[in-house]
């Protein structure tokens, strides 16, 4: 199963009663393990949590710490990129050359590297004073 297919399948489980904007995400680790996530809204936080953050949390909960590839899908007129917070979360676990594929339920796709999605990303080197 492709990452887009995994994201598409999990997207159906998104909890979006306020926006009705369901998002699914899937990521693959270097060993081939796939983790998925969905957006989850609630009355106190109707913007909800992001699908990418959910997939990263599942990866971390399983003890993995490196992303090799990411896919995100939504029912939108054009491919939807991860929000700024999720871009930084992805960058925490993925190298600058890791590909993030964004897709629509109609089949349109756009692929970019982490470096393209988040130029000038903050990383641990910014804290190095030696």
Establish whether 39 is an annotated binding residue.
Answer: yes
What is the pLDDT at residue 130? 64
Query: Rounded to an integer, what distance in angstroms lies between the CA atom of residue 42 and that of residue 51?
Result: 14
CATH of residue 120: 3.40.140.10
CA distances from 55 to 10, 61, 127, 130 (A): 10, 10, 27, 35
The 10s digit of each residue's pLDDT in 51-68 is 999 999 999 999 999 999
**Residue 16 sits in which domain range?**
3-127
Establish whether 13 is an annotated binding residue.
Answer: no
Which residue numbers are catalytic? 52
Query: Rounded to an integer, what distance in angstroms lies between the CA atom of residue 100 and that of residue 27?
Result: 9
Please report which confidence band the pLDDT of residue 91 belongs to, taking 50, 70 and 90 as the band edges.
Answer: very high
Q: Are strands 45-49 and 40-42 parallel, antiparallel or unpaired?
A: antiparallel
How many structural domains is the chain composed of?
Answer: 1
Establish whether 43 is an annotated binding residue.
Answer: yes
Query: Rounded to an integer, what distance in angstroms lies between the CA atom of residue 54 and that of residue 49?
Result: 8
Query: Length of the chain in residues, anyone?
Result: 130
What is the pLDDT at residue 46? 77
């Amino acid at each position: 199963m492709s990452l887009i297919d995994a994201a598409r399948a999990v997207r159906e489980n998104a909890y979006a009663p306020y926006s009705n904007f369901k998002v699914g995400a899937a990521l693959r680790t270097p060993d081939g393990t796939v983790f998925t996530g969905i957006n989850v809204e609630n009355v106190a936080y109707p913007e909800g949590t992001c699908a990418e953050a959910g997939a990263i949390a599942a990866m971390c909960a399983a003890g993995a710490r490196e992303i090799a590839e990411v896919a995100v899908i939504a029912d939108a007129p054009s491919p939807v990129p991860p929000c700024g917070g999720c871009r930084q979360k992805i960058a925490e676990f993925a190298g600058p050359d890791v590909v993030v594929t964004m897709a629509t339920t109609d089949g349109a796709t756009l692929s970019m590297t982490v470096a393209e999605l988040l130029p000038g990303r903050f990383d641990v080197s910014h804290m190095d004073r030696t």
